[in-house]
Amino acid sequence: MSDPAPPRRPTLDLRAFTPARVALGRSGASVPTRALLDFTLDHARARDAVHAAFDAPRLVADLGALGLVVTAASSRAVDRRDYLRRPDLGRQLDAGSVELLARNASVPCQLAVVIGDGLSAAAVHAHAVALLARLLPLLAADDAVAVGHVVVASGARVALGDEIGAILGARMVVTLIGERPGLSAPDSLGAYLTFAPQPGRTDAERNCVSNIHHAGLSYEEAAAKIAWLVREGLARQVTGVALKDESADRAPCRIGTASPG
């Protein structure tokens, strides 16, 4: 008499807990057609996000509705092809923007906010204004951190905020920028904070709150983290590896010092 079959173990559908590509199944030696089609679609969305046009005038108007006075600037990358092939150009302002910002920098400020397209203009269009709408009241509370300048920067890499902050005489700069698209998140926004910004700052000298999108870190969580880092960074006069998140326990989020460029 043969042994009885082992009891069937209940399986856990991991896909209910993560957008990652897990438990896809297989068809012969390959993945099922549906999984392949989903991968192809997500890859196309990621590519589209990288090449999407940045609507800076629309963003300036939307930020103006929040009561902010906004300046538009551009990097030395003249088009998207230039931007992708020459990351260094995205870290430097063009001559016209340097002159314009210098004219607006009559009074040094505590905090400058830079909003740049980065590697996903879609992320900026989808999340930057909504995030700022939640961040501004938190900055105004308690120690009342004042936002002195807001700059919308086209063709921007993260380090462009350092030059902008230096010209504006900002003690700290917060750069909101589209992150490199992933296959599960083509519209992820990142926030990068740098104390005493100036050209040449390294990634180790800035903090990052990343993965801000509808399936990632919420606007409320991100705003709370950014506001805490701004206040503590200004008080301790440091950002980066020397500034660790010590805020009250909240839902886990990614805070680090990495930069997409």
Binding residues for adenosylcob(III)alamin, by number, are: 158, 179, 208
CA–CA separation, 118 vs 186, rounded Å? 12
Place of tokens 């199944």: 25
Edge-to-edge order in the sheet of strand 255-256: 70-74, 147-154, 109-116, 170-178, 189-195, 206-212, 255-256
Q: Which whole-number Å values give the CA distances from 153 to 75, 205, 231, in the listed order?
A: 7, 21, 24
CA–CA separation, 117 vs 57, rounded Å? 13
The binding site consists of 158, 179, 208
SS (H, E, C) 136-160: HHHHHCCCCCCEEEEEEEECCCCCH
- ∠ Cα 212 229 98 (to 5°): 80
Paired tokens of 208: 């990052």
Alpha carbon 10 to chain centroid, angstroms: 40
For 142, left (φ over 0), alpha (ψ -120 to 50), or beta?
Answer: left
